[in-house]
Structure 1
Amino acid sequence: MKRRDSVKVTGRFAPSPSGRIHLGNILCCLLAWLSVRQQAGHMVLRIEDLDTARCPQRYARQMMEDLHWLGLDWDEGPEVGGSNGPYFQSQRTDRYQAALEQLEAQGLVYPCFCTRAELHAASAPHREDGQVIYPGTCRNLSAAQIAERSLRRAPALRLRVPEEEIGFTDGHLGAVRENLARACGDFLLRRSDGMFAYQLAVVVDDAAMGITEVVRGADLLDSTPRQLYLYRLLDLTPPSFCHVPLLLAPDGRRLSKRDADAGLEVLQGRMSAQAVLGKLAYLAGFHPSAEPASAWELLEEFDWDKVPRSDIRLPEHFFEI
């Protein structure tokens, strides 16, 4: 089933340039691009480089070169321009600060002095994936306690979350519901080093750039209820969300930029962009064979109903053939 909408669709790539993109990144970008192009929509490229130490400019430039090589273009963003720039998050911190102040004015933000090591070492509850559920350690500190602790350590800033379920219908995975207090607890808006958190930055940017459709990896599924809560508090209109399966290594590990054998640098040395895309589209269920195909050739074949809902494990040596 191909999706059409009377409203102009605006999608986005929002990569974090901490290294060379790998096959999992490419699959996500391809699905986002196909979904938008099939709906005659508008594609935005935003570089999520808040952590400038891990995301130097050379990686961002390389990532754009890689997208060009793959034939995945964008209508707005770096190199192209547009009315919603700048398109690097490191240049948009004034917008995050304004949103933070809006939340502070609602009395929902408080300083937190807990370190990650302290939370992991303490008896704080943990989720099945090992993430700590913040137990509210600093939630009700007095003004005197805050002043005293501030002398020893700069605080992070957390957002108070309600004891309520937040739900949405994912465009690919269906109904999702999550109680924020039980799933994550009060979450970070700004780290102790002053860096704004992903949850706040992505909400501010997607709203400011008019994004109506977010296609991203299923590893970010549990971020969505937190972001919907922020959309509500900031009186912003959320996009639709579509979370796609992760591409796993043959042994079941999640791919990362450290997996050199799944990185584009290695693949470019032995196959064409069309070969990479054709193989990925075949694994994603909508290309009938692993034969090469350009992004535009895949456009007519793309169908969300054919894309798996569970993670995809790479066959051994599949990209060496």
Structure 2
Amino acid sequence: MATRREVAERAKVSVRTVSNVVNGFEHIAPATRERVLRAIEELEYRPSELARSLKVGRSGLIGLMLPELDTAYFAELTRAFVEGGAARGLTVVVDQTDGDRDRELALLRRTAGGSLFDALVLSPLALHAEDLEVPGAGPLVFLGEDEFPGYDKVMIDNFQAAREAVEHLLAQGRRRIAAIGAERSGRSASSLRLEGYRAAIGAHPDLRLPKIVEYVDGFRRPEGAAAMRRLLDGGEPFDAVFCFSDALALGALRALHDAGVSVPGEVAVVGWDDIEDGRFSIPSLTTVSPDKQWLAETALDRVVRRLAGERLDPELLVGPHRLVVRESAPDLAPGVAATNR
């Protein structure tokens, strides 16, 4: 690889002049600039991004810390971050933590002095507020509702979205609605979705609606299928199920199909995430759709503004969501009652 000195010798200018051309300085004679650019092309010189980043104190790299990358929701969210970063001249580097505290801490410390990351966007499962006292750490932005005082948090309203999903099922005449996705560990997202589920049912005390909650150890298809099989074997009748992720819902759909239970005729199903797979399942999946593009754009905007030196108060930024109604829990025509199981 050619060096900057070789370019200078070919163009018959100083090394400083080559640096000025590479860095886009304006006050260079057109003939000199042309000579340097011609030498760069002839020698196939490529400026060192590492050297440039050391000079300006920035790498242009934003770390994105996610618990898992092989689930559709996080894959789609990652794409939104990568595209949003590129539009801002940034490179988003993604790492998977599996919710392991040591890995989350290691990535956090890489934002401190000497790190390759200018900032970090985190979706942690195991970090505690006291873990964030890392001297010299760059800007941190959190995804979700976990309590990290003093930092930006970007989220959707899990409680309200869950309540709206269950209210949709109630509006269709469903009266025995199960929930799949509660976690005994009490993670904030699943806890808020459980609270929204309970609030929607509790708003109708005159109907004496049961609360049927199935706990899981993860948000993947196998856990959804296993939870549905437990519900089917448990003897508690139900005519709808609200799943806390689309992956759980897709697993539940498979278990219902295997058991010969029609969807939505006997049981309606609602998921959460609006992943692409849900649009192509049979039946297609009604789901809570968080605005993944908004989440990524908002988190990146906070990062960029903080890196630019703006003094911003930490904010809780709540983005939009909507219920996408599809075949698994459709709207019913007026006067048509749900077929209760």
Greater Rg by CA: 2
TM-score bucket of the superposed structures, by smaller chain: under 0.3
The TM-score with structure 1 as length reference comes to 0.24
Between structures 1 and 2, the one with greater helix share: 2
Flag the structure with more relative contact order, 1 or 2, with Cα contacts below 8 A and sequence separation at least 6: 1
